[in-house]
């Protein structure tokens, strides 16, 4: 059911007279940017009004929210749970945004699974597993954030909220919600998938030795000429990291000065970021081919440096996880990394300040 149903007083009264006691309402999101992205005609005020009017007619609400859009972040997930508790939505469902084959976006935005999609195990496409790359958080954070938001709502506090109103029926519903979340965690496949998502985020930094020592990073100069490279440079600058542009490997006629400079740089660069071209952007195949060739040459030239992969996919805008993987070489504070990512994106004109 849609929120604007409450704008028809006659319909509301007929629902009440027919003993309708519960409705499933697609609130979608409380994030104004997400509602705009989804082209929804509702806003937060309309959502609040619909809750008030349904409850005024003694009609209970099962609120359905979609989390994980390109405009959502971790704060959105927690704020949605807080909103649901504050307005006493009787039960809720948080569905993780899931690209479904056959949907309009599958062929365009997701390029039939070649962009943004991280897993094609169709058994996971149930709205309770993150299978895509969100823009403002990692898949692991979205997965955990959605579960924690559900746990916040279906908590003992939420249960006692209903018991205090002598609402035994919905206190029981909330208890079963809490129990279902516990059962979800007992499933081995669910635990293995969450651990896999965690490994995707933390795996490279865990194998990179001591953290907090990376202060100078080498990046192919050719990558820094691209918008994604400029965002990367500003992101690292926000974290206090110096970016050293790396030129192509010295040729046979390279001067002694160039070779000396290369040797000196080896002593100061802590690691090298290697762009991995997974799919060349249409019309720019030559640029990506050259970038791949330059990267290969630099890898041979800087063979002793730790390497951090940085994937590039045709037409895919920046997503948080590749930046987070690099940031984790500098600090384990994901909040600081996320703040640096947001600030860099604002400075580069890629998105508006929150």
State the CATH number of the domain containing residue 99: 3.30.750.200
- Please check whether residue 298 lies inside any domain of the structure: yes
pTM of the model as a whole: 0.89
Q: In whole angstroms, what is the distance from residue 218 CA to residue 265 CA?
A: 9
Task: Note whether 232 and 182 are same-domain residues.
Answer: no
Angle between helices 168-186 and 156-163 (to 10 degrees): 170
The helix/strand/coil state of 27 is strand
| Number of domains within the chain | 2
Task: Note whether 222 and 134 are same-domain residues.
Answer: no
Task: Note whether 70 and 159 are same-domain residues.
Answer: yes
- Please check whether residue 353 lies inside any domain of the structure: no
Query: Would the pLDDT of 260 be above 60?
Result: no
At residue 252, the pLDDT reads: 38
- Helical segments of 102-219, H only: 104-107, 139-153, 156-163, 168-186, 188-206
- Please check whether residue 352 lies inside any domain of the structure: no
Task: Note whether 15 and 123 are same-domain residues.
Answer: yes
User: Among candidates 253, 249, 302, which has minimal Cα distance to 273?
Assistant: 302
- Please check whether residue 248 lies inside any domain of the structure: yes
Task: Note whether 160 and 70 are same-domain residues.
Answer: yes
Phi, psi for 203 (deg, rounded to 5): -55, -50
How confident is the model over 107-161, as pLDDT tens digits?
888 888 888 899 999 999 999 999 999 999 999 999 999 999 999 999 999 999 9
**Mean pLDDT of the chain, nearest integer:** 87
At residue 211, the pLDDT reads: 44
At residue 254, the pLDDT reads: 45
Which of the listed residues 174, 203, 232 is the one where a domain comes to its end?
203
- Please check whether residue 9 lies inside any domain of the structure: yes
Please report the DSSP string for 207-268 in residue order: TSSSSS---EEEEETTGGGSHHHHHHHHHHHHTTPEEEEEPPPP-TT--HHHHHHHHHHHTT
- Please check whether residue 88 lies inside any domain of the structure: yes
Task: Note whether 174 and 302 are same-domain residues.
Answer: no
Q: In whole angstroms, what is the distance from residue 354 CA to residue 338 CA?
A: 13
At residue 179 the predicted structure's pLDDT band, cuts being 50, 70 and 90, is very high
Task: Note whether 190 and 216 are same-domain residues.
Answer: no
Task: Note whether 166 and 267 are same-domain residues.
Answer: no
Q: Are strands 60-67 and 91-96 parallel, antiparallel or unpaired?
A: parallel
Task: Note whether 95 and 166 are same-domain residues.
Answer: yes
Which of the listed residues 203, 222, 240 is the one where a domain comes to its end?
203
Q: In whole angstroms, what is the distance from residue 98 CA to residue 134 CA?
A: 10
**Residue 107 structure tokens:** 């062929």
Task: Note whether 85 and 46 are same-domain residues.
Answer: yes
- Please check whether residue 280 lies inside any domain of the structure: yes
Sign of CA dihedral 258, 259, 260, 263: positive
Which of the listed residues 203, 233, 263 is the one where a domain comes to its end?
203
At residue 1, the pLDDT reads: 87
Q: Report the CATH number that the domain containing residue 296 is assigned in CATH.
A: 3.40.50
Query: Would the pLDDT of 173 be above 60?
Result: yes
DSSP state at residue 3 = G
Task: Note whether 188 and 234 are same-domain residues.
Answer: no
Give the domain range for residue 336. Answer: 210-347
Task: Note whether 163 and 222 are same-domain residues.
Answer: no
At residue 323, the pLDDT reads: 94
User: Among candidates 202, 105, 210, which has minimal Cα distance to 144?
Assistant: 202
């Amino acid at each position: 059911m849609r929120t604007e149903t409450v704008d028809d007083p006659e319909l509301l009264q007929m629902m009440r007279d027919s003993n309708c006691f519960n409705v499933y309402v697609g609130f979608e999101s409380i994030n104004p940017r997400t509602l705009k992205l989804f082209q929804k005609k509702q806003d937060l005020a309309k959502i609040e009004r619909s809750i008030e009017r349904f409850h005024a007619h003694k009609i209970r609400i099962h609120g359905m929210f979609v989390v994980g859009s390109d405009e959502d972040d971790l704060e959105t997930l927690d704020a949605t749970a807080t909103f649901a508790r504050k307005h006493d939505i009787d039960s809720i469902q948080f569905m993780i945004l899931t690209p479904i084959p056959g949907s309009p976006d599958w062929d365009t935005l997701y390029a039939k699974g070649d962009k943004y999609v991280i897993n094609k195990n169709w058994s996971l496409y149930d709205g309770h597993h993150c299978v895509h790359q969100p823009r403002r958080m990692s898949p692991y954070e979205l997965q955990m954030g959605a579960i924690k938001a559900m746990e916040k709502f279906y908590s003992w506090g939420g249960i006692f909220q209903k018991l205090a109103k002598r609402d035994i029926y919905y206190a029981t519903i909330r208890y079963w919600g809490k129990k279902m979340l516990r059962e979800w965690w007992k499933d081995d496949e669910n635990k293995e998938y969450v651990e896999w998502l965690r490994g995707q985020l933390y795996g490279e930094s865990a194998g990179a030795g001591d953290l907090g020592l990376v202060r100078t990073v080498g990046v192919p100069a050719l990558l820094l000429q691209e918008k994604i490279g400029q965002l990367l440079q500003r992101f690292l600058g926000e974290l206090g990291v110096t970016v050293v542009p790396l030129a192509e490997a010295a040729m046979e006629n390279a001067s002694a000065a160039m070779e000396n400079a290369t040797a000196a740089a080896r002593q100061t660069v802590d690691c090298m970021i290697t762009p991995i071209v997974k799919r060349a952007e249409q019309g720019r195949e030559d640029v990506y081919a050259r970038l791949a060739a330059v990267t290969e040459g630099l890898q041979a030239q800087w063979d002793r440096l730790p390497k951090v992969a940085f994937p590039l996919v045709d037409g895919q805008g920046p997503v948080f996880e590749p930046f987070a993987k690099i940031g984790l070489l500098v600090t384990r504070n994901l909040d600081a990394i996320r703040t640096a990512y947001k600030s860099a994106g604002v400075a580069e004109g890629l998105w508006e300040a929150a």
